Structure 1
Amino acid sequence: MNLQEKYSSKIISAEAAAQMVQSGDWIEYGFCTTAPRAFDEALAKRTGELSDVDIRVGVSVYPPAVVAADPDGKVFTFNSWHYSGLDRRLSASGPVFYNPMKFSELPRYVLENTPTDVFVVQVAPMDKFGFFSFGGNASHHYGVIERAKKIIVEVNEQMPRVHGGHGHGIHIDEVDYIIEGASLPLTELHPAQVSDVDQTIARRVMAEMRDGDCIQLGIGGMPNALGSMIAQSDLKDLGGHTEMISESFVDMFLSGVMNGRRKNIDKGRIAYTFALGTKKLYDFLDDNPFCANYPVDYTNSASVAASIDNLVTINNAVEIDLFGQVCSESAGIRNISGSGGQLDFVIAGYLSKGGRSFICLSSCYKDKAGQLHSRLVPTITPGGIITDPRATTMYVVTEYGMFNCKGMSTWQRAEGLINIAHPDFREELIAQAEAMKIWKRSNKR
């Protein structure tokens, strides 16, 4: 049987695919923009026929039909590996729960710890060799493929076909069923608005950048601001090794500052595990050999990333306490995002020869009533999740300065972090540090 005959023999409708789901099943949806759409809608129509069906997702970008059809979670439970803004909104009123994880370990989780009855993923059309591309979202898919009892691909004509290292697609011989006929634009995430504070923080980090650095950027206004500054700079021979690839990397490549020539591995290429942005990004990834899509246990492996000289990792935080503990995923008990790969890259940035790890945050924020609150706090808000333990924190950057926590005692950390807090809160923080017995009187009071 040739490839086209195999393909034709596996075509089914979305409704027929959804009929394969049984009560009690665990279903894995493709990561981010590869989450199924026709299958999801067909499964939602079976709400009255099923019970106790769990669905795992990651960075949801399409409103799930199963949640809309079952808002109380009597049939379907949504379990997210990493909250998107959509997941966060759904969790406030519906059956959406977070799966704690360290992103670099996710392929192993699905191989060893979590059952998968059905895996459904959006893909680009099959190529002449029988491969379907995951469109830039390799993530943990290879692990799910090995474990799942049924594998269903949903072909989307508008999914980009990407280059990769490994695990960035699936061969027809591994596919059980094919849903075809869709030509749907991918959800677009437009760059976050850049504030004056973001610009100030980005300029502080920019001052630490050097020719030949290899960059990892997180999500948010500050990383966007920094990426734009780098693209307009006279830096040379930058590389990219990141978790999420965004528009910033497109701009850095097109401006000529990023070519990957000095990288120790993946020389001349950006390595990434998932893509989320606008059509500008998706068009850039399509058939572009400069971009290499890998599974997350490669991109986020601290040992792999740290083997790249001059790795510079830039990530955000919700709050940081005077011990140097970093919370980047919750506001108290309210889940905001997830651990993702931040800890992976914080560690890798420090271990890299010539590497640097930056945690960036505004010094304060206003609540809905307009009251100002410090993001540098005595201790993490009760219920808050520690994303990065204090021993792993390197540079902390606010609009008021930068402080390197590495090697510092508790009193030095308290003093250094208070010095970059908003001035309105410094005396209060000093008093709290004294009460916690981590304050040493000095000329910096």
Structure 2
Amino acid sequence: MSWQELYQQKRMTAEQAASHIKSGDRVVVAHATGEPGALIDAMVKNAKAYRNVEIVHMVAMGKGEYCLPEYAENFRHNSLFLGASTRDAIAKGRGDFTPVYFSQIPDLLREELHPNVALLHLSPPDEHGYCSYGVSVDYTKPAAEIADLRIAQINPNMPRTLGDSFIHVSELDCIVEADEPIIELGQAKIGETERAIGEHCASLIQDGDCLQLGIGAIPDAVLLFLKEKKDLGIHSEMFSDGVVELVEAGVITNRRKTLHKGQCVVTFLMGSRRLYDYVNNNPSVAMYPVDYVNNPAVIAKNDNLVSINSCIQVDLMGQVVSDSIGPRQFSGVGGQVDFVRGANLSRGGKSIMAMPSSLVKKDGTRVSKIAVQIDAGAAVTTSRYDVNYIVTEFGVAKLKGKTLRDRAKALIEIAHPDFREELMEEFHRRFGG
């Protein structure tokens, strides 16, 4: 039987596909901008047919309606990285958070959280019957490879990304055609603080370096200050529109990479339609599952790997908090520690943690993000043994190889001026002098 005949046999409506999900099933959903909206909407619409369906994924970029209180008996969300639409459910006990490094999620699914159902979002098949995972390869492809049931939303708007990014029609169980826009990531607002941080980070990047960039205003600001650099490369869990601009400007060429020379290597994508059009059928962009891209041993094969990530708080010992605010879970570790360790193992590599020096709370009070101690109940994301550079709008603190005394002194120098006296008092209590 031809793949075209198989495709027609497996075609159905989203409602028919949702009826294949059973009470008690564990459903793994494609990640971030790869969320299959039509399938999720149909599943939520069919909620009364379910009891205790476990929804597992990382960042939710869609509506997240399965987290609403009215569906508490039907769905329970198991988050691997909290987002805006899922945070409340975890905080109020309607959902759960499982701590896991991004690189280890495929093994988690293989060994601990076997998926009964994988909800996929794919490009239309090519002439050989292969669909691309598009913007979400990461844990989505490994989940599909082991799931009992594979339900695929086929969308002509999904870019056909290359690399290890394909599944054949014969491996799908249910096919739903749905033409809808791919979720787009809005542009982060870059203020003067972010610009200053970006400029400091960019000062640590040399011609020929290979970059990993996170999400948000600070990584976007870094890109603004790289336009005079030459032959930069990308090996990152994701990238957005700013990378496209630097490729088109001839700044990112990947020529000097020591692994996957000539290619940007990523595991998922978040951006605008411009980004999705750029990566479509583009052999200079290679997408692979996250247990390859984020494996520290693989990352380290890239010489001069510079990782740049954001954080919430740093204490005077250099302990970094990135995923919780006190005991309240805010996000997740994602790939931060994967890339910190990979960069530290890379020949000539650097890992950078970047953040504003202070935060203005809702009541108008300003607090220092360089703290005497991390907030009670907060979890350390990157340990003091792994930390390398800390950057704020006031400068760069290199902590690697420094004593606790010298670390504290370096961090106080880049703290907000309003808090330096208070931090110095603690410094003298702790270290004398």
Tell me if TM exceeds 0.5.
yes
Distance 1:424 1:2 in 2: 70
Question: What is the aligned counterpart of 1:229 among 210, 225, 230?
Answer: 225
Query: Contact 2:91 / 2:328 at 8 angstroms: preserved in 1?
Result: no
Deviation for aligned residue 1:92: 5.2
Once the two structures are overlaid, the 10-residue window that deviates more, 49-58 or 365-374, is: 49-58
Give me the TM-score of the superposition, normalised by structure 2. Answer: 0.96
Distance 1:90 1:192 in 2: 25
Corresponding residue number in structure 1 for 2:355 = 361
Distance 2:281 2:308 in 1: 28
2:11 is the counterpart of 1:11: yes
State the aligned residue count: 433
- Give, as a single letter, the amino acid of the residue that structure 2 aligns with 1:287: N
Distance 2:144 2:316 in 1: 44
Query: Contact 2:67 / 2:86 at 8 angstroms: preserved in 1?
Result: no
Distance 2:427 2:236 in 1: 36
Corresponding residue number in structure 2 for 1:170 = 167
Q: 1:338 to 1:37 in 2, by over 3 A?
A: same
- Give, as a single letter, the amino acid of the residue that structure 2 aligns with 1:57: H
Deviation per residue, 1:6-51 (Å, 9 max, x gap)? 1111112222211112211111111122222222222223322321
Q: Percent identity?
A: 36
Deviation per residue, 1:377-419 (Å, 9 max, x gap)? 0111112121101100001111112111111111111111111
Corresponding residue number in structure 1 for 2:329 = 335
Question: SS of the counterpart of 2:223?
Answer: helix
Query: Contact 1:14 / 1:179 at 8 angstroms: preserved in 2?
Result: yes
Deviation for aligned residue 1:94: 7.5
Question: What is the aligned counterpart of 1:207 among 187, 203, 209?
Answer: 203
Deviation for aligned residue 1:286: 1.0
- Give, as a single letter, the amino acid of the residue that structure 2 aligns with 1:320: V
- Give, as a single letter, the amino acid of the residue that structure 2 aligns with 1:41: D
- Give, as a single letter, the amino acid of the residue that structure 2 aligns with 1:85: A
2:318 is the counterpart of 1:324: yes
Distance 1:359 1:417 in 2: 12
Question: SS of the counterpart of 2:225?
Answer: helix
What's the RMSD between the two structures over aligned residues? 1.6
Deviation per residue, 1:208-239 (Å, 9 max, x gap)? 22110111111111110111221xx2211110
Distance 1:266 1:292 in 2: 9
- Give, as a single letter, the amino acid of the residue that structure 1 aligns with 2:100: M
Question: SS of the counterpart of 1:345?
Answer: helix
Distance 2:100 2:70 in 1: 25
- Give, as a single letter, the amino acid of the residue that structure 1 aligns with 2:355: L
Query: Contact 1:243 / 1:299 at 8 angstroms: preserved in 2?
Result: yes
After superposition, residues 7-406 of structure 1 pair within 5 angstroms as: 7-68=7-68, 71=70, 73-88=72-87, 91=90, 95-164=94-163, 166=164, 168-180=165-177, 182-230=178-226, 233-406=227-400
Query: Contact 1:163 / 1:288 at 8 angstroms: preserved in 2?
Result: yes
Unmatched 5+ stretches in structure 1: none
Deviation for aligned residue 1:142: 3.0
- Give, as a single letter, the amino acid of the residue that structure 1 aligns with 2:133: F
2:427 is the counterpart of 1:433: yes
Question: What is the aligned counterpart of 2:405 among 406, 411, 418?
Answer: 411
Q: 1:89 to 1:290 in 2, by over 3 A?
A: farther
Distance 1:251 1:83 in 2: 29
Deviation for aligned residue 1:89: 5.2
Question: SS of the counterpart of 1:288?
Answer: coil
Query: Contact 1:71 / 1:94 at 8 angstroms: preserved in 2?
Result: no
Deviation per residue, 1:294-333 (Å, 9 max, x gap)? 1111111111111111111111110001111101111112
- Give, as a single letter, the amino acid of the residue that structure 2 aligns with 1:80: S
Deviation for aligned residue 1:241: 0.6
Deviation for aligned residue 1:440: 4.1
- Give, as a single letter, the amino acid of the residue that structure 2 aligns with 1:29: V
Give me the TM-score of the superposition, normalised by structure 1. Answer: 0.94
Question: SS of the counterpart of 1:215?
Answer: strand
Once the two structures are overlaid, the 10-residue window that deviates more, 113-122 or 85-94, is: 85-94
Deviation for aligned residue 1:273: 0.5
Distance 2:205 2:85 in 1: 34
Unmatched 5+ stretches in structure 2: none
Query: Contact 1:111 / 1:146 at 8 angstroms: preserved in 2?
Result: no
- Give, as a single letter, the amino acid of the residue that structure 2 aligns with 1:24: G
- Give, as a single letter, the amino acid of the residue that structure 1 aligns with 2:38: A
